[in-house]
Chain A
Amino acid sequence: MTPSRERMEELVADRVLWGLSETEAQELARFGDPAEAEFAALERTGAAITAAILEPTLDGPPAHLQERLRRAAEDFLGRSLPVPEGRSTERAPTGPAAVRRPAPRPVAPASPGSSPWISWSGWATAAAAAVVALVLYLDQDRRAEVPPLDQQLQALLRDDPDLMRLDWEVGPQGEIVWSPKAQRGFLRLRGLAANAERDFQYQLWIFDRKRSAETPVDGGVFDIDTAGADATPEGDLLVPIDAKILVHEAFAFAITKEEPGGVVVSAKRPEQIVAAAGL
């Protein structure tokens, strides 16, 4: 491969992944039609990767958005849509039934003037009292069929001999299953209260020995919904762990209640802490 072709491919890949600066865009334009053809191929590849990554953890849109889309579709076609079967259900069939995982959105870190961070072990203990008031037993209305997430969990348990497993010490019953090799894992939860997405959402934090305990890794935002159940045969709700960055050596986990969409850095007020393990 000639250096210039290599450079063209770099620029095209960057355009798909991140976009180009004006200077880079001008540089790429000099490659002409081959660069555009290359971009079309790589853009399609990027879209295929996007769909493949999202597929296992798709979130169904909320009911009001589904209704809005139906109205938009009717306006587009100029005719009414037939009422689909089971339309009264809250979520689209593509999403998990009990646990929704909206992506966190970046928000400003806790202000310097806010309460200083107490130690995780300290506020985990303090959280225990709050947890008591939040506990709802969710082992009801589960789907009869084996949930896909359970199959994923079983596969992980079967295939990875180096799994890390920790029981929740504060908050719900259950455990954390984490594969350092695959950078994947699941929370097994029983007794975590259902939440209304517009009020607050749950956020998982992963403590990495290679990082400061003050800045645990964001493990993803999720909701608990009692309308359905994505659960193990034992009745534990399953939540896939969605570590946003590489976790070198996980040693502890915690769940906090955060504003809708999640946060980059938790204020970690005691009343926010609903679960902890390994701290």
Chain B
Amino acid sequence: MTETYILHQIAAGEPQAMNAFLERYSGLVWSLARRHSPSPHDAEDAVQEIFLEIWKSAGRYDPGVAAEQTFVAMIARRRLIDRSRRHKRQPRADVLPEPEVIAAEMEPDRVEIADEAQRVSSVLRTLRPEQQKVLELSLVHGRSHSQISEQTGMPLGTVKSLARRGLMKVRRALGVEPNGGPSPDDPIPGEEDSGRGGSRRTDDSQEVSR
């Protein structure tokens, strides 16, 4: 059976698909934008910007790589992060890949994409409550690690550690691996000099890239 994806229909210029897309995903994009934006007005501008970006990228959506919902959330997060940095007038130390190349970079998944949201929810429930909270504050609310530390009263190192481990645990549960990436034992470029001695930021003012 061939499944039809709304994004592909949008890429084909089907107006009815646009209605369906707005109905299905406007809640997700709006909810995320409200949490990342300084005002409702800014959130509304962000939502429109995000949808335009998604529509432009619709033809490159690969259902073998990510669920539509994940694709939408990923572009939404990128644009919201971009907007946040523009508001703060912070330069970026590196450049995010454009949405057009997202599909090419992500490997085909081994899990059933349709079950992804349910699987993620199941895995999240296995995390400690404070770990869930740290991930939510970071990914959904766009809080910095310093802000999370301040809000939760947890040491900065604990916040980082909880979030990293939670993210990696969900990734392992989903079977998401880098496309063509090396195994954990393969050598890494720059291994000799990359070590653990890199400078670490100590406050938000130094966070300049994603």
Determine if A49 and B55 form an interchain contact, defined as CB atoms under 8 angstroms apart: no
**Contact flag A65-B164 (CB < 8 Å), given A47-B70, A57-B31:** no
Interface-lining segment among A5-13, A112-120, A147-155, A265-273: A5-13
Q: Mark A43-78, 1 if CB is under 8 A from B, else 0.
A: 111111111111101111100011011101110110
Q: How far is the CB of A73 from chain B (nearest CB, A)?
A: 5
Q: Judge whether B51 and A69 touch: CB under 8 Å.
A: yes
**Which residues of A are found within 8 Å of B138, using beta-carbon distances?**
17-18
Give A1-24 interface residues, CB cut-off 8 Å to B. Answer: 1-5, 7-11, 13-24
Instruction: Answer whether A17 and B139 are a contact pair too, CB < 8 Å, given A22-B208, A69-B26, A73-B22.
Output: yes
Cβ B179 vs Cβ A37 within 8 A: yes
C-alpha gap A274/B24 in the complex (Å): 35
In the complex, chain A residues whose CB is within 8 Å of the CB of B112: none
A50–B27 touching, CB < 8 Å: no
B77 & A65 in contact (Cβ 8 Å cutoff) = no
Which positions 1-50 of chain B face chain A at CB distance < 8 Å?
13, 15-16, 18-19, 22-24, 26-28, 30-32, 34-35, 37-40, 44, 47-48
Interchain CB contact under 8 A, A50 and B77: yes
Q: Mark B184-198, 1 if CB is under 8 A from A, else 0.
A: 111011110111101
Measured between beta carbons, the chain A residues less than 8 angstroms from B24 are: 94
Determine the chain A residues whose CB is within 8 A of the CB of B116 once the complex forms: 48
Q: Is the CB of B139 within 8 A of A53?
A: yes
Q: Tell whether A31 is near chain B: CB-to-CB under 8 Å.
A: yes
Q: How many residues of A contact B (CB 8 A)?
A: 90
Complex: A124 Cα to B189 Cα, angstroms: 62
Report the Cα distance A2→B189, complex, angstroms: 12
Question: Do residues B74 and A43 form an inter-chain contact, with CB atoms below 8 A?
Answer: yes
Asked if B74 and A13 make an inter-chain contact with CB atoms under 8 angstroms apart, the answer reads no
Whether the Cβ atoms of A15 and B178 lie closer than 8 Å is no
B179 close to A244 (CB less than 8 A): no
Known: A17-B167, A244-B151. Is A41-B130 also a contact (CB below 8 A)?
no
* Known pairs A1-B184, A13-B167; A65 contacts B47 (CB<8 A): yes
Whether A73 touches B55, Cβ cut-off 8 Å, given contacts A13-B167, A34-B189, A105-B38, is yes
Contact between A77 and B140 (Cβ–Cβ < 8 Å)? no
Interface pair B40/A102, CB less than 8 Å apart = yes
Among residues of B, the one whose C-beta sits closest to the C-beta of A198 is B40
Question: Does B209 have its Cβ within 8 Å of any Cβ on chain A?
Answer: yes
A38 within 8 A of B: yes
B189 contacts A81, CB within 8 Å? no
16 A-B pairs whose Cβ atoms sit less than 8 Å apart in the complex: A17-B138, A25-B209, A38-B181, A41-B178, A43-B74, A44-B65, A47-B73, A48-B67, A48-B70, A73-B15, A76-B55, A93-B23, A94-B24, A94-B27, A105-B38, A182-B129
